[in-house]
């Protein structure tokens, strides 16, 4: 049986490097990855990749998804263009469907009030403080944070971001999850053996 799809938000200026570790492992675990744009018009990433979204944001429903992933993008800090994605994240969280936000997307969630009552992290605390949000006391200085159905991470932590997503959706756990992280974050050769034995490569 195919698992529910994971929805990956795509928009102009999205940070190419932040979600690849997560989406590859999710796809291998049976979660189809579907891209979601503001509309179905093509978007262009920071690295110049042209992406044709599978769906428009308005057509995505929490009940049809396993997870909404929000990458960083310059637009999170330079306009209100991506605010609809933060509002969609609210709808997902209210429905109990997980959301994972990294880099500038954490600022979008902060502006939407979604970090006021949840533990979270980002690039640095003062980056989120500049949004005027009320959740500063819940900021955690670490690589990635999961609080209930919400994952947050800073822009330099795509592997830790993926680790939390994989844990949250039950793709890997325990020793295997730890080995996966050590292999891709630390290049630990001993971790390769653990993953090979578990059939996780």
Catalytically active residues are 103
CA nearest 105: which of 76, 137, 66, 145? Answer: 76
Structure tokens at 68: 């909404």
Contact (CB, 8 A) for 154 and 163:
no
CB 171 within 8 A of CB 25: yes
Residue 56 sits at φ, ψ, to 5 deg, of -90, 150
Instruction: Give 146's contacts (C-beta < 8 A, 6+ positions apart).
Output: 164, 167, 168
> What is the Cα–Cα distance from 89 to 151, expressed in whole angstroms?
12
Count of other CB atoms within 10 angstroms of residue 160: 22
d(Cα 162, Cα 20) in Å, to the nearest integer?
8
The structure tokens listed for 105 are 């997307």
Could you give the angle at which helices 83-94 and 104-111 cross, rounded to 10 degrees? 70
């Amino acid at each position: 049986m195919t698992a529910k799809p994971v929805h990956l938000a795509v928009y102009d200026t999205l940070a190419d490097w932040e979600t690849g570790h997560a989406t590859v492992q999710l796809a291998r675990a049976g979660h189809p990855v579907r891209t979601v744009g503001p509309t179905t018009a093509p978007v262009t990433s920071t690295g110049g990749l042209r992406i044709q979204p599978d769906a428009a944001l308005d057509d995505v429903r929490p009940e049809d998804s396993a997870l909404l992933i929000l990458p960083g993008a310059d637009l999170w800090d330079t306009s209100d263009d991506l605010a609809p994605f933060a509002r969609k994240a609210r709808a997902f969280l209210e429905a109990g469907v997980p959301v994972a936000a990294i880099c500038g997307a954490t600022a979008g969630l902060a502006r939407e009030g979604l970090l006021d009552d949840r533990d979270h992290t980002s690039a640095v605390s003062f980056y989120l403080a500049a949004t005027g949000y009320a959740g500063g006391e819940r900021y955690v200085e670490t690589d990635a944070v999961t609080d209930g159905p919400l994952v947050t991470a800073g822009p330099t932590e795509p592997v830790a971001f993926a680790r939390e997503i994989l844990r949250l959706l039950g793709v890997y756990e325990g020793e295997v999850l730890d080995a996966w992280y050590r292999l891709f974050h630390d290049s630990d050769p001993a971790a390769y053996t653990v993953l090979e034995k578990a059939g996780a490569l």
